[in-house]
Amino acid sequence: MAERLNLVFDLDGTLIDSARQIEDSANKVFLANGLAAFPQGVVRGFIGNGVKTLVGRLMAYQGLSPDAALQTDIVRDFIRIYEEAFDLTTLYPSAADALMALSATGHRLAICTNKPEGPSRAILRHFGLAKLFPVVIGGDTLPQHKPDPAPLLAALGALGAGKALFVGDSEVDADTAHAAGIPLALFTGGYRKSEPDRLGAKLIFDDHAALPRLIAHLLPRLQAAKSA
């Protein structure tokens, strides 16, 4: 029987395209607070380091003075809206089929994302994927969030012993994987800004349908690395 891997996935930009949903939720919250909405594309450029950082960057973009109380209110309202909003979020093509194939092969799956845990679980339920992910580490599950390695290491610890691979899409994910000493599989269709070959990934893919086959081919390399 082929060896099983612990496969930890990022969520936004890796399994789901949520940029339009995040932009819509941010605009609704800022408008509700008497602030301006954002030009198209601005919010997308700030995705990746969690909601608190996103809101802080958006406030700075608008030239607002640092205001901890206002930031806290916007973060709370954003999470409330975003946790129930799915109309502008889509799964990447073939992502669900790839996840089901990997799970059926015996690989153990987890989520490690900077999205808050509540909205993360909600989106997995919405797309019928919750049963595939017994472990979900969100941006508010621990005091630390990516690129600190603690969330990724917590996800791997919950899955149990075994060789591991982190699947992500961005510089944040690459930094997290490297800090944790875990090889990275990079999806090129997400929210990264750097060229893919600059992020030190063991595996680079642009189509989720190919992921089960690519992981199967990567396994001997992971085994050789462990025994070296």
Joined together, the tokens standing for residue 147 give 């690129």
User: What is the average pLDDT across 38-61?
Assistant: 94
Asked if residue 183 has pLDDT above 90, the reply is yes
Say which of 10, 12, 24, 169 is annotated catalytic.
10
pLDDT of 37 reads 97
Q: What does DSSP assign to residue 49?
A: S
Architecture category of domain 19-82 in CATH: Orthogonal Bundle (1.10)
Query: Which amino acid is present at 182?
Result: I
Let me know the angle formed at the C-alpha of 141 by 202 and 208, rounded to the nearest 5 degrees.
35
Extents of the domains making up the chain: 6-17+89-227, 19-82
Q: DSSP string spanning 21-71? A: HHHHHHHHHHHHTT-----TTTTGGGTTS-HHHHHHHHHHHTTPPP-HHHH
Phi, psi for 135 (deg, rounded to 5): -125, 125
Mean pLDDT of the chain: 94
Asked if residue 228 has pLDDT above 60, the reply is no
Phi, psi for 185 (deg, rounded to 5): -105, 125
User: Residue 106: is it exposed, middle or buried by C-beta count within 10 angstroms (0-12/13-18/19+)?
Assistant: exposed
Q: Is 97 a catalytic site residue?
A: no
Give the span between the Cα atoms of 160 and 155, in whole angstroms.
Answer: 9
Comparison of pLDDT for 215 and 228, the residue scoring more: 215
Comparison of pLDDT for 147 and 225, the residue scoring more: 147
Q: How far is CA 130 from CA 111, 147, 201, in A?
A: 10, 24, 27
Residue-wise pLDDT tens digits, 85-113: 999 999 999 999 999 999 999 999 999 99
Phi, psi for 48 (deg, rounded to 5): 135, -20
pLDDT of 220 reads 85
Read off the pLDDT band of 1 (50, 70, 90): very low
Joined together, the tokens standing for residue 46 give 């700030």
Residue-wise pLDDT tens digits, 191-201: 999 999 999 99
Q: Are 11 and 123 in contact (CB under 8 A)?
A: yes
The radius of gyration computed from the CA coordinates of the chain, to the nearest angstrom, equals 18
Name the fold adopted by 6-17+89-227.
Rossmann fold (3.40.50)
Asked if residue 12 has pLDDT above 60, the reply is yes
Residue 143: partners with Cβ closer than 8 Å, 6 or more residues away: none
**Do you know the residue count of the chain?**
228
Residue-wise pLDDT tens digits, 114-145: 999 999 999 999 999 999 999 999 999 999 99
